[in-house]
Chain A
Amino acid sequence: MASQKRISKELADCSASPPAGMSITLASDSDVHKWHITLDGPVGSAYAGGRFGLIVSLPTDYPFKPPVVTFATRIYHPNVTNDATGAICLGLLKPEQWKPSTRVQSVLEAVRALLVEPNPDDPLESRIADEYRANRAEFNRNARAYVNKYATGPVTFSSAAAAGSAAGSGSGSGDATGGKAQGS
C-alpha cells in the first residue's frame, strides 16, 4: 500500500518531467511495479544514436529495498553484463548502499551517466573494462557495432525476445555466460 502510493507518485512525477532522453511507460497498466523505459543513447558517447530499453522492477517493499534495473537491449559496456540479462552494476543500487530516500528518477539519471562515463574500476565485464582502459578506440568501435546491431530498431522489452534474438543473430559473440551477472 505504502509502496504503491510512493511509486505512483514517482511515476506521475517522472511522466510529467522525464529525465533527458527517456520516455516511461508501465509494463502493464495494472502493475505499477514494473516500468519500461526507452533511453536514447547520450549524444557524444559511444552509444549515441541507439535506443535502449530499460526495465525497472520495483520490489514490493520499495523504497526500503532498491529497485532492480536491467537493460532489455544488449549493450557493450563494462558495467552491464554482456548477455540477455542485462544486469547493471551501479553503486546506487547495491543493497548496502541503497538509501530509501533515493528516487527512481535519480537512478535513471545515474544509468544515463553510466553510459556517458563507464566505470571500469567496478566492472561486471572485466574484459570490456580492460579494453575500455587500454584501447578506447577498439572499445568505441565494438560499442558502436553493438548499437548498430541491437539498438537501432524499435525497443522490445521482453527479455525472452531479446534472448531469442541474441541466440539467433548474435551467436557469434559467445559471451552469454549468465553466471557473470552476479560477479560484481
Chain B
Amino acid sequence: MPPPNTPGEGVPAAGSSPPESTEQYQVQVEAGQEQEDGRSRVAPPAAASPIPSIPPTPAASPPQAELPPRVSPPPTPELQFASITTSLESTSPPRPSLSTDQSTRPNRPLFYDHQALEYEGPYDETLQCPICRTPFYLPLTTRTCGHTFCAGCLRRALELRPVCPIDRQPIDKDHDIYQTRVINDQLDRLRVKCPNKGCDHVCTRDRLPAHYSRQCPFSMVPCPDRECSHRIIRMNADPDKACLHRETSCQYCSATVMIADLDSHYDNHCAGHTTKCTQCDSVVVRHRMEGHIAAECPETEVHCRWHPYGCNVFGRRATMQGHQRAGCVYEAIAKLTQARLDDRAVIDELKGRVSTLSSRLNQQEQELRGRSRPSMGHSTGVPVSDFDVHTSTRAASMPYNSAAWGSAEDYMLAQFERIETNAENLRKMVLEINGHHNLRQLNDTMRLDGLISELQSKIGVLGMHTTWLMNVQRQSRGQQRAGGVAGGPPAPEMSTGNSGNAGARMSTEGERLPYMGIPPRRHSNERGEGRGENPPRL
C-alpha cells in the first residue's frame, strides 16, 4: 500500500500556473456538496432538505497571502448535473470531482484517501460502511430499505446493478437516496490520525481537511515559485527560498536531481551512495557521514564524557565506552560536583529564608520595645541590651525567667504565639459581634417591614374611604340634580358589582366608574339602615 501522500498523487498536469491549494480544496469540497445538493434536488418533494455533506471548513487565511485569491465561479445547474453523472460514472468513487471543470483547474487538490484513514480508538461498528468496512465517508441512505453506504461505494455498486447492495431492493440512484445528518455528525466526531507520513497530528474527522490542507507541514503544496508547477512538502515551501525544483547534479554521482529530492536521492538512489567510513569499516550513506562521525563511529577519537570534570582520557569511541562503563573516576567527581551544586542552591534558598525571618524578628522586637518603653520607668535605667529590656519590662505581666525559657528566641516565640492566639480570639470576637450586629439589623428590618406593610394597607383603606366618600357625594349631587329635573331613581348599574379588588381601581377607573365595592351598602343605605353610613372599617 503506497503512502497516501506520494508525490505521484499530488503531481498536477504540466504547464499550469500553481493555484492556491487551500482554495482548490474548498472548491473541490463545494463541488462535492453541489453534487449532493443536485442529487437531492431531483429527488421527490418528500425528500429532506438537501444537506451539505461536508462540514464547513473554518475560514482561515490562506498560507500564501501574497498570492491573489482565486474566485471560483458558481457552477450552473447544468454543470451540476454534469458533475453528478460524471462522478457517478467515475471509477474513483470517494473523491467528489468536478470533472467538467478540470480544464480550468488542472492542479489536483490536496486529497487523501478517506478509506485509508487511521482512526484513533474504537468506533461504533454501525458507523461502518458494509461495502468498504471503514467509517462512512459522505454517507447516503436508501429510501426504499434504509441502508446506509458511503457515497462512493454506493455509486459504484449501483453502477454494476441498480439494487441495494444488502437486500437487492431496486434503487433509482436519482430518487431513492438521501443523506442523514445525524450520521454525518457522529462521523465528524471520530478522531483520526493525519494521513501524512511523518505527521502525528490527531484531530476530529471534520477538522482533518483543514489540518491537511492548511497546517500539516507534511502536506504537498504547490511550489512557492509561481512559475513552477511542481509540488513540495509544505515544510520546505519557503517563499523566501528559491524554487527547489531546479535540477542540480548530484555531488557524488552524475545524476541530475531536483533539489527538493536530494535527500531521498542521497539515501536511496545515488549511485555508490554508500561509502565506507574512513575511520571504522562500517558502510555509511555518504551524505550522513558527518553525523556518523559526530555521534556513532566507534573509531573516531573522542574525549571522555567527564572531560569537563577533569578526565583527560582521550581515545576511540569504542574504547571510550568501555572506559566509561568500567567507571571513570571522574564520574564520581562529576556526581559530587553536581550534588554540591544542588546543595548550594538549597543553601542559598535557606539563607534567603533565614534573612527574612531575622528581619521580621527584629521588627517585632522593635515593636515590643516601643510598646514597653512607657512602663519602663521603674527599671534601673538605660538597658544594656534588648535582652535586658525584656527582663525588665515583661516582669510585671509575664516574668521572663532565663531559667524557665531556654533562650531569648524561645521566649520570643512564646510571646509571638501568645500574640497570635490573642489575635485569633479577637478575630473570633469580631466575627461574633458581626453576627450579633447582623441579627439585630435583621430584626429591625423585619419590624420595619411589618410597619411598612401595615401602613400600606392603611393607605389603601384610606383610598377606599376617599373613593367611597366621593361617590356618596357625587350620588347625592346627582340625586339632587335628578330630583330637581325628573326625580328618577339612581343609576341602575350601581346595583351590580362585586366586592373584590377594592383599592386597585381607585386611581383612574375609580373616578370615572362607580365604585364597584360599594353598591350593597348603598342599598342598605337607601333602606335607611344606619350601619351603611359608616365607611368600611379598617
Rounded to whole angstroms, the CA-CA distance of A14 and B157 in the bound complex is: 24
Task: List B contacts of A1 (CB < 8 A).
Answer: 1, 113, 115-116
Please encode chain A, from 2 to 21, with 1 for each CB lying within 8 Å of some chain B CB and 0 for all others: 10111001100000000000
Whether B115 pairs with A100 at a CB distance below 8 angstroms is no
**Interface presence of B165 (CB below 8 A):** yes
- What is the total number of residues of chain A having a CB less than 8 Å from a CB of chain B? 13
Whether B166 pairs with A101 at a CB distance below 8 angstroms is yes
Whether A2 pairs with B94 at a CB distance below 8 angstroms is yes
Rounded to whole angstroms, the CA-CA distance of A64 and B115 in the bound complex is: 15
Task: List A contacts of B133 (CB < 8 A).
Answer: 5-6, 9-10
Whether A5 pairs with B115 at a CB distance below 8 angstroms is yes
Of A5, A9, A96, A101, which is within 8 A of B165 by CB? A101
User: B215 CB to closest chain A CB, in angstroms?
Assistant: 25
Whether A6 contacts B1 in the complex (CB less than 8 A), given A1-B113, A64-B156, comes out as: no
**Interface presence of B168 (CB below 8 A):** yes
Of B132, B153, B165, which is within 8 A of A99 by CB? B165
Whether A6 contacts B132 in the complex (CB less than 8 A), given A1-B113, A1-B115, comes out as: yes
* A-facing residues in B185-241 (Cβ within 8 Å): none
Task: List B contacts of A78 (CB < 8 A).
Answer: none
Give the one of A2, A99, A101 with max B CB within 10 A.
A2
Task: List A contacts of B157 (CB < 8 A).
Answer: 64, 100
Rounded to whole angstroms, the CA-CA distance of A63 and B132 in the bound complex is: 8
Q: Which residue of A lies closest to B131 (CB)?
A: A100
Task: List B contacts of A64 (CB < 8 A).
Answer: 131, 156-157, 160
User: A28 CB to closest chain B CB, in angstroms?
Assistant: 15
Rounded to whole angstroms, the CA-CA distance of A54 and B131 in the bound complex is: 24
Whether B1 pairs with A4 at a CB distance below 8 angstroms is yes
Rounded to whole angstroms, the CA-CA distance of A20 and B266 in the bound complex is: 52
**Interface presence of B298 (CB below 8 A):** no
Please encode chain A, from 64 to 83, with 1 for each CB lying within 8 Å of some chain B CB and 0 for all others: 10000000000000000000
Task: List B contacts of A100 (CB < 8 A).
Answer: 130-131, 153, 157, 165
Task: List A contacts of B168 (CB < 8 A).
Answer: 99
**Interface presence of B471 (CB below 8 A):** no
Rounded to whole angstroms, the CA-CA distance of A101 and B165 in the bound complex is: 6
Rounded to whole angstroms, the CA-CA distance of A64 and B159 in the bound complex is: 10
Rounded to whole angstroms, the CA-CA distance of A1 and B112 in the bound complex is: 12
**Interface presence of B5 (CB below 8 A):** no
Of B132, B165, B166, which is within 8 A of A2 by CB? B132
Whether B116 pairs with A5 at a CB distance below 8 angstroms is yes
**Interface presence of B134 (CB below 8 A):** yes
Task: List A contacts of B115 (CB < 8 A).
Answer: 1-2, 5-6
Q: Which residue of A lies closest to B164 (CB)?
A: A99
Whether A63 pairs with B1 at a CB distance below 8 angstroms is no
Task: List B contacts of A63 (CB < 8 A).
Answer: 131-132
Rounded to whole angstroms, the CA-CA distance of A152 and B168 in the bound complex is: 41
Task: List B contacts of A4 (CB < 8 A).
Answer: 1
User: A163 CB to closest chain B CB, in angstroms?
Assistant: 33
* A-facing residues in B130-187 (Cβ within 8 Å): 130-134, 153, 156-157, 160-161, 165-166, 168
User: B166 CB to closest chain A CB, in angstroms?
Assistant: 5
Whether A99 contacts B94 in the complex (CB less than 8 A), given A1-B115, A6-B133, comes out as: no
Task: List B contacts of A6 (CB < 8 A).
Answer: 115, 131-134
Task: List A contacts of B153 (CB < 8 A).
Answer: 100
Give the one of B94, B130, B133, B166 with max A CB within 10 A.
B133
Interface residues of A (CB under 8 A from B): 1-2, 4-6, 9-10, 63-64, 96, 99-101
Known: A6-B133, A100-B165. 13 other contacts (CB 8 A): A1-B1, A1-B113, A1-B116, A2-B94, A2-B132, A5-B116, A6-B132, A6-B134, A63-B131, A64-B157, A100-B131, A101-B130, A101-B131
Interface residues of B (CB under 8 A from A): 1, 93-94, 113, 115-116, 130-134, 153, 156-157, 160-161, 165-166, 168
Q: List 21 A-B contacts (CB under 8 A).
A: A1-B113, A1-B115, A1-B116, A2-B113, A2-B132, A4-B1, A5-B115, A5-B133, A5-B134, A6-B132, A6-B133, A9-B133, A10-B133, A63-B131, A96-B161, A99-B165, A99-B166, A100-B130, A100-B157, A101-B131, A101-B165
Q: Which 8 A-B pairs have the closest CB atoms?
A: A101-B130, A100-B165, A100-B131, A6-B133, A101-B166, A2-B115, A100-B157, A5-B115
